[in-house]
């Protein structure tokens, strides 16, 4: 199989979505020919910065594959780790394209808005909310008071302007923040 000039193999194609390409499978094939160093820095709360080193192809022919790889990697890092500022070192063209994507009018506008407004603890509460837990169960899981859980949910709703917790949970699921189906209480 081939995607953006990268040949990859899958043992089993998903029957319900035959066009689905598992990022991990494609990433492994993509990295085989990637030799140009690239660093992705992710700034989180309290000034914490994590740096993730990787490689890209860095050629005009592989520009789309490079972009897709880094864009997916950045999105994964943002949603799995949390953060609000991303820096790319090693390819200014790629950094500029990603910067444009993560603007209010870019292809990653939802992610951009969400991460500028929601931080780590609220993301943990949101993940538990989407799994269908009650406020009390979320509080128990995260060692918080029920009042604090309610405050986090209210803050997220205010920041994102979602009407209620159901809309918040559904939009978080649709955006890729959480994996699984929303299970209302």
For the stretch 22-48, pLDDT in tens is: 899 999 999 999 999 999 998 876 567
88/168: higher pLDDT: 88
Of 99, 115, 131, the domain-final residue: 115
Q: Which helix (H) or strand (E) holds 94?
A: helix 92-101
126/69: higher pLDDT: 69
Same domain, 64 and 6: yes
Whether the CB-CB separation of 48 and 85 falls below 8 Å is answered with: no
d(CA 27, CA 79): 18
Same domain, 17 and 32: yes
Domain that holds residue 166: 119-175
Same domain, 67 and 147: no
User: What contacts 134, CB < 8 A, 6 or more positions away?
Assistant: 185
Same domain, 94 and 125: no
* The predicted structure's pLDDT at residue 102: 79
Same domain, 7 and 43: yes
**How large is the average pLDDT for residues 102-120?**
73
Note the pLDDT tens digit of each residue in 146-159.
998 998 888 888 87
Of 91, 115, 139, the domain-final residue: 115
Of 66, 92, 115, the domain-final residue: 115
């Amino acid at each position: 199989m081939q995607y953006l000039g990268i040949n990859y193999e899958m043992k089993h194609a998903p029957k319900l979505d035959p066009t689905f390409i598992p990022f991990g499978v494609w990433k492994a094939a993509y990295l085989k020919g990637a030799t140009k160093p690239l660093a992705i820095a992710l700034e989180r709360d309290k000034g914490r910065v994590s740096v993730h080193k990787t490689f890209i192809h860095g050629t005009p022919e592989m520009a789309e594959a490079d972009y897709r790889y880094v864009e997916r990697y950045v999105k994964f890092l943002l949603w799995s780790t949390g953060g609000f500022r991303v820096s790319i070192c090693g390819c200014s063209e790629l950094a500029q394209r990603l910067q444009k994507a993560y603007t209010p009018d870019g292809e990653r506008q939802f992610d951009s808005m969400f991460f500028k407004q929601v931080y780590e603890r609220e993301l943990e509460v949101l993940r538990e909310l989407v799994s269908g837990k009650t406020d009390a169960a979320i509080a128990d899981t995260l060692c918080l008071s029920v009042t604090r859980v309610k405050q986090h949910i209210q803050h997220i709703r205010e920041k994102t302007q979602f009407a209620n917790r159901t809309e918040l949970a559904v939009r978080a699921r649709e955006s890729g923040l959480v994996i699984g189906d929303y299970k209302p209480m």
